[in-house]
Chain A
Amino acid sequence: MSAIKSETSSRLVKASWHEKAVARGGVVSIALFFAVVCIVFSLATDAFLTTPNLLNIVRQSAPLLIVASAMTFVITTGGIDLSVGSVLALTATLSAVLLQWGVPWPIVVLALLCLGAAVGALQGFFIAYEGIPAFIVTLAGLSVIRGIALLITGGYSIPVDPASGFNMIGRAWFIGMPVPALIAIVVLALAYTAFNETTFGRYVTGVGANAEAVRRAGVNTRLVTLMVYVLTGSAAALAGIILASRLGSGSSNSGQGFELDVIAAVVLGGTSLFGGRGSVVGTILGALTVAVIANGLILAHLSPFLTPIVTGSIILIAIWLNFRLFKGGSRSR
Chain B
Amino acid sequence: MTDSLPYRVRMTGISKRYHPIQVLDDVSLTLKPGEVLGLVGDNGAGKSTLSKVLSGAIIPDAGSIEIDGEVVSFASPADARAARVEMVYQDLSLCDTVDVAGNLFLGREPRRRIAGLSFLDKARMHAEARAMLDRLGIVIADTRLKVENLSGGQRQSIAIGRAASFDPRVLIMDEPTAALAVAEVEAVLDLIRAVSARGVSVILITHRLQDLFLVCDRIQVMYEGRNVAERHVSETSIEEVVNLIVGRKFAARSAGAAGSTGVPA
Contact = CB atoms under 8 A, between A and B. Distances in A.
A111 interface: no
A205 B95 contact: yes
Which of B89, B107, B139, B141 lies at the interface centre, i.e. has the most chain A CB atoms within 10 A of its CB?
A: B107
A199 B109 contact: yes
A199 B118 contact: yes
Contacts of A276: 95-97
B120 interface: yes
Interface string A188-230: 0000010001110010011011101110111100000000000
A332 interface: yes
Contact of A23 (B93, B146, B183): B146
Contacts of B98: 202, 205-206, 209
Interface in B75-134: 77-78, 89, 91-98, 102, 106-109, 111, 118-120, 122
Given A4-B186, A9-B141, A213-B94, A197 B107 contact: no
Contacts of B97: 205, 208-209, 276-277, 330
B161 to A, nearest CB: 14
Interface string A24-39: 0000000000000000
A199 B111 contact: yes
B27 to A, nearest CB: 25
Contact of B148 (A193, A202, A331): A331
A50 interface: no
Interface string B199-230: 00000000000000000000000000000000
A198 B186 contact: no
A5 interface: yes
A14 B183 contact: no
Given A209-B98, A217-B107, A12 B141 contact: yes
Given A5-B187, A197-B120, A199-B111, A213 B145 contact: no
A4 B183 contact: yes
B149 interface: yes
Nearest to B120: A197
Contacts of A1: 186-187, 190
B61 interface: no
A219 B95 CA distance: 13
A330 B119 CA distance: 27
A43 interface: no
Contacts of B109: 199, 202
A302 interface: no
Given A197-B120, A199-B120, A276-B95, A4 B187 contact: yes
Given A8-B139, A216-B77, A206 B119 contact: no
Interface in B214-263: none
B93 A331 contact: no
Nearest to B190: A1
A209 B148 CA distance: 10
A15 B186 CA distance: 26
Which of A8, A205, A332 lies at the interface centre, i.e. has the most chain B CB atoms within 10 A of its CB?
A: A8
A213 B187 CA distance: 24
A43 B84 CA distance: 66
A275 to B, nearest CB: 9
B95 A210 contact: yes
A5 B139 contact: yes
Contacts of B93: 210, 212-213, 216-217
B248 to A, nearest CB: 38
A13 interface: yes
B139 A12 contact: yes
Nearest to A217: B107
Interface string B51-83: 000000000000000000000000001100000
Contact of B140 (A12, A209, A214, A217): A12
Interface in B9-68: none
Contact of A217 (B106, B111, B144, B183): B106
Contacts of B140: 12
Contacts of B111: 199
Given A199-B109, A210-B96, A332 B139 contact: no
Contacts of A8: 139, 183, 187
A274 to B, nearest CB: 10
Interface of A: 1, 4-5, 8-9, 12-15, 23, 193, 197-199, 202, 205-206, 208-210, 212-214, 216-219, 276-277, 330-332
8 contacts: A4-B186, A8-B187, A12-B140, A14-B142, A213-B93, A218-B107, A276-B96, A277-B97
The 5 closest A-B pairs by CB, nearest first: A217-B107, A213-B93, A12-B141, A209-B95, A276-B97
Given A205-B98, A213-B106, A214-B95, 8 more contacts: A15-B142, A23-B146, A197-B120, A205-B97, A206-B95, A209-B96, A213-B94, A277-B97
